[in-house]
Copies of this chain bind each other. A is one copy, B any other.
Amino acid sequence: ARPPKTENVIFGKRGMRLEDAINESNEYYREHGSAVVYKKPTPVQIVHVDYPARSQAVIKEAYFRQPSTTDYNGVYQGYYLDFEAKQTKNKHSFPLKNYHQHQIDHFRRCLAQQGICFTLMQFADPNCVYLFPATALLRYWDDTTGRHSIPLKEVARVGYKIAVGFAPAIPYLDAVDALIAATHPQNSKGTIE
């Protein structure tokens, strides 16, 4: 497999990359007891490791493996969250080629288990971030009429705009609340003793 692509569009005025901004937000949410979400490590196939005396093990040969899932998952108020973050320099639409088949398949399986699945879409110029539900992404993915991107208008209509800030940088849980209210209206959950 190829190494994971570095996201090159910088995030907002602080010059943060999208992934770093999300990791920082996850840390904020963990520290405040709001949610427990992590980015999954890049899967690597380790072939050779050196164990020099008195020092740290060094991986000397390894290869990137194809991930099977999306980048982020975790738990929020009893809900399983699963999402992928993507960005585009396009101004008016979000290209579907940003997604990979394994991510789509993973979303389908997690939705069948009642997971809360979405993608964070960043438009670089002007900088804005939307939470876009995986159910809507799958409708576009399965659309065989040949559309290869989602118009920004549709992203704005179906998705939830995230008020990008400082702490956390990407307060996506507000949008998750809105998504849950729309998809799980009658939910009432027990608590663990």
The reply to whether the CB of A168 lies closer than 8 angstroms to some CB of chain B is no
* Interface 0/1 of A145-171, CB less than 8 Å to B: 000000000000000000000000000
Chain copies in the assembled complex: 2
Given the contacts A40-B40, A57-B2, A60-B60, A192 and B184 also touching, CB distance less than 8 Å:
yes
Task: Check A111–B192 contact: CB distance below 8 A.
Answer: yes
Task: Check A75–B113 contact: CB distance below 8 A.
Answer: yes
Give the residues in chain B near A142, CB-CB below 8 Å: none
Measured CA separation A73–B109 after assembly (Å): 14
A189 to chain B, nearest CB (A): 6
Give the B-binding residues of A (Cβ under 8 A): 1-3, 30, 33, 35-36, 38, 40-44, 46, 49, 56-65, 68-69, 73-80, 82, 106, 109-115, 135, 183-193
